[in-house]
Amino acid sequence: MDEFVVSARKYRPQVFASVVGQSSITTTLKNSIVRKHLAHAYLFCGPRGVGKTTCARIFAKTINCTNPTPELEACNHCESCLSFNEGRSYSIHELDAASNNSVEDIRQLIEQVRIPPQVGQYSVYIIDEVHMLSTTAFNAFLKTLEEPPLHAVFILATTEKHKIIPTILSRCQIYDFSRIRTEDTVEYLKMIAQSEGVTTEDAALHIIAQKADGAMRDALSIFDQVVSFCGNELTYAKVIENLNVLDYEYYFKLTSAFLKCSYTEALLIFNEILSKGFEGQHFIAGLCSHFRDLLVCKDAQTVSLLEASDSIKAMYREQAVSCDAYFLFEALSLANRCDVGYKASGNPRLHVELCLLQISYLCAEKKKPDVAQSPVAAAAPTAAASAAAVSPAPATVQSPANPPIAHKPAAEPPKTVQIKSAMSSMPEKTPPPAATPSAAEKPVDTAQDFTDKQLQEVCQQYALALPEQKARVKNAVLSAAKTIRDDRHTISMKLDNDIILRDVGQEKETLVYYLRQRLHNAQVEVELQVEEAPAKSAKPYGNENCYKFMVEQNPLLASLKQKLDLDYD
């Protein structure tokens, strides 16, 4: 039985020309070799599986190759290339910073750097996952990284560039690797499938490439997985079954249901998707992508943004014709909000179903009949004509076939209303029960004298009997200092403002009756008037005015100023 080697190792690029999706970086590295402008430190950073370590190995092998090809590629036949390919090279060293991240490990590396290469011109040190080094290890590495021996070249690789301290970054040439495009991944998978004798469908390879999300190593691992499941024939149906990917067909049927305003069909499709084991958030994320793909297919300039096989692209272009942009904008917004709030929802299924109902309503809202053309609106003129027949006939009678046009009445100019007149026109309030005369009480016909103390007590009793809604009246009556007895029978009440005057005035008749009954004096009268506030003196402004104001309060300040020869400041 032949030993199986995974595709990620078996088809790992050995020369710059076979590196996928990083042409700008490989061209720059080859040109630096041609011009002999080699730096002493490089930093390769980017997502996982895009070729950072692969390019570092190819670069290290190429600069030590003793017989490079005319295209400046490693020959793979010289002693340096053979020793590297067989894993016995003493000139190219690979270190894993994830497990060698201490200061002691860096010290051992510094001691090793002093030794010149046995074969080739350079000793190349490839340090993978360099962001895992501790801060003290980075600081110990600084001096060697800045001024290494002439034969030493460092290539640092990382997926998290932001974790590397700036002093390290400033000593390296930085190369940013990009995600590999779906089209490039598909083409590379086709080449591998031909080499392995596997027949494939373009749609199946696009699913693998999209699942890999720009990482070639992930794409090759998924390829090995689906080949183990499908055998030597990769079909779209088998690939989505093995990778648990929701079929495009569900989203196309769901969109058709939305356009028909059939929320029942949409709910049934969602139920079928759940019955197959797919999660609601996985479904709603795919729905967002579907609406996005339909949107980019609305314009010929953005069709290139759709990453799918030609057959799937044709389906998208066909359905995009029947979807207007407004529907796609709103549907995408609703689906995105559903995706964001999915985890916070207490009932995830209902959360998604509510989103589907809202999307279905988008088209239903557009299909509502216009008010002017609705049956109710059509019947309105006839009803108006019937009402006109019953009502007194005007000078000119309109025909029911030509109903009169209802003109909007002209807006009346705003009226100016004074506060005092508005308050005075308000209806009088009902007096409190405690102060209302009862049938048992008889009119007073005596004129007994009373003291100020008796007056204050009776006023207090009246105020306490008032409800909370008459707080201003209550406070005015309770203010004993403002309730002044002018003579034996007349009581003058000084009030703060016109509003309180209006409130107390509404209660005056009840108050007078109450006072006459409790004081046993039929001659009691109450006079209400607003107390004028004393004029406030102007506040002094400036040093000189302040000084004059202080002198008016204390004349001795003038003599003190003169004796001490003081100034205003």
- Asked whether residue 129 falls in the same domain as residue 273, the answer is no
CA–CA dist 227, 238 (Å, integer) = 10
Q: Which of 142, 160, 176 is the last residue of a domain?
A: 176
Question: What is the DSSP secondary-structure string of 214-276?
Answer: T-HHHHHHHHHHHHHHH-SEE-HHHHHHHHTPPPHHHHHHHHHHHHTT-HHHHHHHHHHHHHT
- Asked whether residue 261 falls in the same domain as residue 187, the answer is no
- Asked whether residue 59 falls in the same domain as residue 159, the answer is yes
Answer whether residue 199 is part of any domain.
yes
- Asked whether residue 521 falls in the same domain as residue 483, the answer is yes
Answer whether residue 449 is part of any domain.
yes
In Å, the largest CA–CA distance within the chain is 138
Taking only the tens place, the pLDDT of each residue in 421-450 is 444 444 444 444 444 444 445 566 677 778
Answer whether residue 171 is part of any domain.
yes
Q: What six digits make up the tokens of 546? A: 């302040």
- Residue 56: pLDDT band with limits 50, 70, 90: very high
Cα→Cα distances 478→463, 495, 508, 527, Å: 6, 12, 15, 16
Please report, for the domain that includes residue 232, its CATH number. Answer: 1.10.8.60
Q: Which of 344, 366, 388 is the last residue of a domain?
A: 366
pLDDT of residue 498 exceeding 90: no
Q: Is-contact 74 61, C-beta < 8 A?
A: yes
Answer whether residue 566 is part of any domain.
yes
pLDDT of residue 461 exceeding 50: yes
Q: What is the pLDDT of residue 126?
A: 92
Give the CA dihedral 54, 60, 63, 68, nearest 10 degrees: -50
Taking only the tens place, the pLDDT of each residue in 89-110 is 888 888 888 888 888 888 999 8
Query: What is the domain range of residue 340?
Result: 248-366
Which amino acid is present at 5?
A: V
Taking all residues of the chain, what is their mean pLDDT, rounded to a whole number?
80
Taking only the tens place, the pLDDT of each residue in 81-93 is 888 888 888 888 8
Q: What is the pLDDT of residue 365?
A: 66
Taking only the tens place, the pLDDT of each residue in 171-216 is 999 999 999 988 889 999 999 999 888 998 888 899 899 888 888 9
pLDDT of residue 520 exceeding 90: no
More confident residue, 555 or 274: 274
- Asked whether residue 53 falls in the same domain as residue 12, the answer is yes
% of the chain beyond a pLDDT of 90 = 21
Q: What six digits make up the tokens of 477? A: 């009556």
Answer whether residue 371 is part of any domain.
no
Answer whether residue 281 is part of any domain.
yes
Q: What is the pLDDT of residue 374?
A: 41
- Asked whether residue 36 falls in the same domain as residue 152, the answer is yes
pLDDT of residue 416 exceeding 50: no
- Asked whether residue 212 falls in the same domain as residue 308, the answer is no
Q: Which of 160, 176, 192 is the last residue of a domain?
A: 176
- Asked whether residue 95 falls in the same domain as residue 172, the answer is yes
Number of separate domains in the chain:
5
Work out the average pLDDT over 468-490.
68
Q: What is the pLDDT of residue 288?
A: 93
Q: What is the pTM of this model?
A: 0.58
Instruction: Classify residue 191 by its DSSP letter.
Output: H
More confident residue, 163 or 561: 163
Taking only the tens place, the pLDDT of each residue in 13-49 is 888 888 988 889 999 999 898 888 889 999 999 998 8
pLDDT of residue 1 exceeding 70: no
pLDDT of residue 364 exceeding 50: yes
Answer whether residue 259 is part of any domain.
yes
- Residue 388: pLDDT band with limits 50, 70, 90: very low
- Asked whether residue 17 falls in the same domain as residue 54, the answer is yes
- Asked whether residue 28 falls in the same domain as residue 91, the answer is yes
- Residue 222: pLDDT band with limits 50, 70, 90: very high
